[in-house]
């Protein structure tokens, strides 16, 4: 069964590298029959936070905000592909999270963290998980850390290290399980 899945990536740097991991995830999701949308700052140009989305009257949010909101509303699961900036959450990713509090509620998410160093962004991933709890998405147990992201994937997101085909399997199996379970439960109603 295919799900609608949003992949959130938060670097707008000219020389950004993590986009490779994001493209890899999008490709794998599509291979598995899902509808995957890559939300990334250079394409979506989400403005810095002013009002949160729910503070706008319906239909009155700026178009660039509405466009992202539509993808997040439609999504039945999320994958956060995240770098580690000074051991913390990259600001453009945090901006995307902070705009849209209620849209993530009662849906699952997975974290793919990366860095060009040896630790694959795990220090940041733990912080991100605390934030994901606050925005109401259920963070799945398995994380996928990607060390040396610049060497692990080519520009198009094709693994140079073939082990990534196996490494992502458990991560996506879990995400699908939670997407299915929570979708069924949402169909019975949510507390709010
Ligand atoms: C502002 C900034 C802070 C960084 N801090 C860390 C860090 O704390 N730990 C780490 O392993 N790498 C760190 N790096 C290196 C990043 O892992 C590497 O630049 C990576 O490619 C950034 O992701 P991006 O290319 O998708 O923007 C930092 C890079 C930048 C630009």
Q: What is residue 93's predicted lDDT score, i.e. its pLDDT?
A: 98
* Distance, CA of 160 to CA of 54 (rounded, Å): 42
Q: Is the CB of 89 inside a 6 Å radius of any atom of ligand 1?
A: no
Top CATH class of 4-182 equals alpha beta
* Distance, CA of 143 to CA of 99 (rounded, Å): 24
The strand pairing partners of 145, in sequence order, are 113
What is the arithmetic mean of pLDDT over 22-48?
Answer: 98
Given ligand 1 and candidates 7, 91, 115, which is best to mutate, with the most ligand atoms within 8 Å of its CB? 115
Category of 52 on φ-ψ map: left (φ > 0), alpha (ψ -120 to 50) or beta: beta
* Residue positions counted in the chain: 192
Q: What are the domain boundaries of the chain?
A: 4-182
What is the atom index within ligand 1 of the atom nearest the CA of 18? 26
Residue ID of nearest Cα to ligand 1 atom 2: 85
Report the separation in Å between the CA atom of 93 and the middle of ligand 1, taken as the mean of its atom positions.
13
Provide the percentage of residues in the chain whose pLDDT is more than 70: 100
Given ligand 1 and candidates 20, 25, 116, which is best to mutate, with the most ligand atoms within 8 Å of its CB? 116
Q: Is the CB of 18 inside a 6 Å radius of any atom of ligand 1?
A: yes
Does pLDDT of 121 surpass 90?
Answer: yes
Does pLDDT of 1 surpass 90?
Answer: no
Does pLDDT of 114 surpass 90?
Answer: yes
In tens, the pLDDT along 44-101 reads 999 999 999 999 999 999 999 999 999 999 999 999 999 999 999 999 999 999 999 9
Report the separation in Å between the CA atom of 18 and the middle of ligand 1, taken as the mean of its atom positions.
9
Report the separation in Å between the CA atom of 85 and the middle of ligand 1, taken as the mean of its atom positions.
5
Task: Give this prediction's pTM.
Answer: 0.98
């Amino acid at each position: 069964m295919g799900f609608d899945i949003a992949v959130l990536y938060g670097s707008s740097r000219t020389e950004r590298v993590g986009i490779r991991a994001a493209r890899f995830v999008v490709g794998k999701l599509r291979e598995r029959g899902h509808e995957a949308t890559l939300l990334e700052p250079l394409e979506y140009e989400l403005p810095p936070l002013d009002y949160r989305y729910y503070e706008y009257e319906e239909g009155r949010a700026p178009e660039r905000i509405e466009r992202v909101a539509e993808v997040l509303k439609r999504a039945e699961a999320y994958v956060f592909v995240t770098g580690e900036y000074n051991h913390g959450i990259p600001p453009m990713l945090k901006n995307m999270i902070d705009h849209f509090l209620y849209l993530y509620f009662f849906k699952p998410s997975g974290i793919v963290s990366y860095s060009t160093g040896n630790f694959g962004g795990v220090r940041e991933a733990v912080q991100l998980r605390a934030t994901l709890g606050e925005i109401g998405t259920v963070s799945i147990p398995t994380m996928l850390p990607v060390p040396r992201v610049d060497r692990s994937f080519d520009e198009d997101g094709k693994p140079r290290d073939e082990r990534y085909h196996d490494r992502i399997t458990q991560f996506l199996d879990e995400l699908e399980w939670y997407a299915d379970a929570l979708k069924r439960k949402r169909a019975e109603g949510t507390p709010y």
